[in-house]
Structures are given as structure tokens and as C-alpha cells.
Amino acid sequence: LGVGPEIPVGICVEQSLDIAVGLLGILKAGGCYVPLDPRYPNERLSFMLHDIQAEVLITQQRLIEHLAEHNAQLVCLDGDWASISDCSGANFVSDVTAENTAYVIYTSGSTGIPKGVLAPHRGAVNRLDWMWLAYPFEAREVLCQKTSLNFVDSVCEIFGPLLRGIPLVRSEEHTSEL
């Protein structure tokens, strides 16, 4: 879909396994992920989508109506598996370097307009390396991932265990409606 280094890809999914699928797909393609919380007001989602100028947006069918107007190509992780399975199964190799952006997380905007903070792969890997040294995983441990993608702590909660082969479970959120 044209995703490569420094190409932002929006990901707007509810807390589920789709998060890991989406993030790993974006990073494997070489892009940087931009979390878009489906609980955010439409105005904030609209601002973020416009600001990043995403060409691709990963979401779920039930969230499409909630998303602000955008020009991104939609990939629905719960509805596009037929077209996804038509893609090559070959191992894709990207041109990403340690200096390329891995993710963009927006500030709360408490001082005005939210700002996207770009984080390079090098920073994420250095943080994970420190975490593994300071808090090594033990045999038979499981990590519970509970932090929203919109907070930097989610990077360690998701990729820390996955990159070490540690089971990751997602704590369920209970929301009534968007």
C-alpha cells in the first residue's frame, strides 16, 4: 500500500489482538504507527488524521462511522482478510534504519493544540534493552498489557514481552458506547 520508512499509518482499533496485528504489520512494512483512540472526540481524530496526512488507516468495521473525514485507504482488520490473504506471503524486508520513526504519539493538548512526538526505532530499542536488563522476564511469566496505545508506556508493555517470546495478555476494557 506504499508504506515505507517515515510513512505514518493511523491505527484506530479497540483494545484487542488487532492491536498487535496492526502494529506488527505497520512496523514490518517500514512505516511508523500513529495511535488514534476510538474514544477520542471526532474533532481530535480529525485533527490528528489531517496532521499526519496518513495514506493508510488501520481500523475495525464498527469504528468506520466514528472516524472523521479523511483521505486514507482503510484496512479493516476484522473485515478485509480476503483481500489481505491475496497479498504475497513472502518475507518483506524494509529499508528502515534505527533513526527512522517507529511511532508518533500525540500530546494531550493541554496547552493548546496537540503535538505529535516522533520516536525513532533506536530510542524504543534502547528503552527495551534497559527494561530487559533491569527487569528480566522469568520463565513462565506473563505480561498483562493494559495501557492505551496513546501513551508511551504501551511500547514497553507490548514489545517488551513480544520481542522476548513472553506471553502477552490484554486486559479488557469495558465501555458502553463510543
What percent of the chain lies above the pLDDT cut of 90?
38
3-state SS class at 57: strand
CA-to-CA distance for 132 and 21, rounded, in angstroms? 23
Mean of all residue pLDDT scores within the chain:
86
Task: Return the pLDDT at 126.
Answer: 95
Cell numbers for 62, please give them.
Answer: 464498527
Each residue's pLDDT tens digit, 57-102: 999 988 988 787 788 899 998 877 777 777 777 888 888 999 999 9
Could you tell me what percent of the chain has a pLDDT over 70?
96
Q: Please give the backbone phi and psi of residue 40, each rounded to the nearest 5 degrees, phi first.
A: -70, 150
Q: In a 10 Å sphere around its CB, with 0-12 CB exposed, 13-18 middle and 19+ buried, how is residue 131 labelled?
A: middle
- Crossing angle of helices 153-162 and 121-134, in 10° steps, is 70
Specify the pLDDT at position 36. 93
The radius of gyration of the chain from alpha carbons, rounded to an integer in Å, stands at 16
Average pLDDT of 37-55?
89
